[in-house]
């Protein structure tokens, strides 16, 4: 079923200012969007703005004679093919979890059989509170899909988990299972794709570690896009603060060695391996079991040893999957990437210039140059999800060509 009739619930929180953009992006996917505001939401975003972007009246009153005379709440609940609530505040989350019908939005959720996606946004302490976590678990157990929250600086000045996911990331998660891009539908059907993502953490002692700036967004976008295009996807992730992509098997690891073991276990059965993780090249030779004391020390020397090159080891398997590396470079990107392509015996390598602040690490956009032994492709700057769709198209073409040559 393709859901085109979306009910967007907006609850009270500063992140509500992102809701008009979400409506715009949903409509770009061909969705018909009706908006319901909680009382709290009206303090952050106006019904007029949402009416203008959605092209429909905006609803907020449970007992509204005009509304009941037109499209009443039962009718609206039946009309919706999908419900997304963004942002979802701690208060409305509690009401939903406990089946309250004390405003229009919670009443509609009770009266509807449509699948529900919730996008929480709140102060990080509120998010971590056991009451909130218990409420989220109740919703998940009931089948709701939770998107986010993300990690970062919050409106209140604190830093932590609780930011609302970006509208584009929400749309990417809402649409895969409902509206795969037509021309690419079934593109990756039958393929088993293994993807690594995020950073690794190499322990120094029980409280300190060596890591890097990778957020995991590139690898997670690839996993979501590959699953959308029909592949069976396994995602091996270092420590990140991202929600699992829909329909993807996720395995969490911490260190380069753990990632190596997890990848090698899965690689035997994969058709394609995409190594988007920023794996630490070095780890502390012997992590200390007790916290290193500063007292009196003027310096500290750590003995580092090389970690296994996971990608090179996979490419060296007797029957390797089609291997796609990433190269994070700060100078002469293509020259260094070509060297990695050859030395690691890869089929493709995608290079991003991480000296640029607008693409690469942590941000939602990227720009790639993809190299094979004989060809160069350029994927212009775009969201990591759109970049992933293009990269997967290139991978599919090169994978098919390689198999044709092998079988001829
Ligand atoms: O996670 P994001 O914030 O979204 O950022 C995305 C990204 C910049 C991390 C991603 O696009 C990227 O470039 N990933 C690869 C980063 C990296 O480690 O590049 P490298 O040039 O150091 O390594 C080359 C390749 O070898 C990579 O495919 C890497 O996964 C692999 N490798 C490296 C070291 C190691 N010990 N084992 C490996 O498998």
- pLDDT tens for the 408 residues of the chain, in order: 446 899 999 999 999 999 999 999 999 888 999 999 999 999 999 999 999 999 999 999 887 767 665 567 788 999 999 999 999 999 999 999 999 999 999 999 999 988 899 999 999 999 999 999 999 999 988 888 899 998 877 888 777 889 999 999 899 888 764 443 444 444 899 999 999 999 999 999 999 999 999 999 999 999 988 998 889 999 999 999 988 888 899 999 999 999 999 999 999 999 999 999 999 999 999 999 999 999 888 999 999 999 999 999 999 999 999 999 999 999 999 999 999 999 999 999 999 999 999 999 998 889 999 999 999 999 988 888 889 989 999 999 999 999 999 888
What residues line ligand 1, using a CB cutoff of 6 Å?
A: 198, 214-218, 256, 275-279, 281, 307, 309-311, 325-328, 340, 352, 354, 360-362
**Residue owning the nearest CA to atom 31 of ligand 1:** 311
DSSP 210-239: E--S--SHHHHHHHHHHHHTT-EEEEEE-S
Q: Which residue shows structure tokens 């957020």?
A: 215
pTM of the model: 0.66
- Integer Cα distance of 223 and 292 in angstroms: 39
Q: Is CATH 3.40.30.10 correct for 5-177?
A: no
| Domain boundaries for CATH 3.40.50.1950 within the chain | 5-177
The CATH number of 192-286+303-407 is: 3.40.50.10300
Using alpha carbons, select from 339, 374, 330, 396 the residue that is nearest to residue 188: 396
Return the active site residues: 156
- Which residue among 225, 235, 242, 276 is best mutated to probe the pocket of ligand 1, counting the most ligand atoms within 8 A of its Cβ? 276
Rg (CA), the chain: 23
- Integer Cα distance of 200 and 47 in angstroms: 45
Distance 247 CA to ligand 1 centre (A): 24
- Integer Cα distance of 327 and 351 in angstroms: 5
Beta bridge partners of 83: 7, 116
Using alpha carbons, select from 217, 206, 129 the residue that is nearest to residue 169: 217
DSSP state of 187: T
| Domain boundaries for CATH 3.40.50.10300 within the chain | 192-286+303-407
Find the length of the chain.
408
DSSP, collapsed to helix, strand or coil, labels residue 397 as helix
């Amino acid at each position: 079923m393709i859901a085109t009739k979306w009910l967007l619930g907006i609850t009270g929180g500063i992140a509500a200012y992102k809701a008009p953009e979400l409506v715009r992006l949903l409509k770009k996917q061909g969705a018909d969007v009706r908006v319901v505001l909680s009382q709290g939401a009206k303090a952050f975003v106006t019904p007029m703005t949402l009416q203008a972007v959605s092209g429909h009246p905006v609803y907020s009153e449970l007992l509204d004679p005009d509304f009941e005379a037109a499209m009443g709440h039962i009718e609206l609940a039946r009309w919706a093919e999908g419900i997304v609530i963004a942002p979802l505040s701690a208060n409305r989350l509690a009401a939903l979890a406990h089946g309250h019908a004390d405003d229009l939005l919670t009443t509609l959720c009770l009266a509807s059989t449509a699948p529900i996606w919730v996008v929480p946004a709140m102060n990080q302490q509120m998010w971590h509170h056991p009451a909130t976590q218990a409420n989220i678990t109740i919703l998940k157990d009931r089948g709701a899909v939770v998107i986010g929250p993300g990690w970062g600086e919050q409106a209140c000045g604190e830093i932590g988990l609780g930011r609302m996911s970006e509208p584009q990331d929400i749309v990417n998660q809402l649409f895969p299972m409902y509206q795969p891009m037509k021309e690419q539908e079934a593109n990756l059907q039958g393929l088993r794709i293994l993807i690594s993502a995020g950073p690794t953490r190499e322990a120094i002692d029980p409280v300190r570690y060596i890591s890097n700036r990778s957020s995991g967004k590139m690898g997670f976008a690839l996993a979501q896009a590959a699953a959308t295009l029909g592949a069976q996807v396994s995602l091996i992730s270092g420590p990140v603060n991202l929600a699992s992509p829909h329909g993807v098997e996720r395995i969490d690891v911490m260190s380069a060695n753990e990632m190596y073991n997890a990848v090698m276990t899965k690689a035997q059965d994969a058709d394609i391996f995409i190594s988007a993780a920023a794996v630490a090249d070095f780890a502390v030779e012997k992590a200390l079991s007790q916290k290193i004391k500063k007292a009196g020390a003027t310096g500290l020397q750590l003995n580092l040893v090389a970690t296994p090159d996971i990608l090179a080891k996979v490419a060296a398997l007797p029957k390797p999957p089609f291997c796609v590396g990433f190269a994070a470079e700060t100078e002469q990107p293509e020259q260094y990437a070509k060297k990695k392509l050859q030395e690691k015996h890869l089929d493709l390598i995608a290079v991003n210039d991480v000296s640029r602040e607008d693409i690469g690490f942590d941000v939602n956009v990227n720009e790639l140059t993809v190299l094979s032994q004989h060809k160069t492709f350029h994927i212009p700057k775009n969201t990591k999800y759109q970049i992933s769709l293009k990269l997967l198209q290139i991978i599919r073409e090169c994978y098919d060509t390689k198999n044709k040559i092998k079988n001829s």
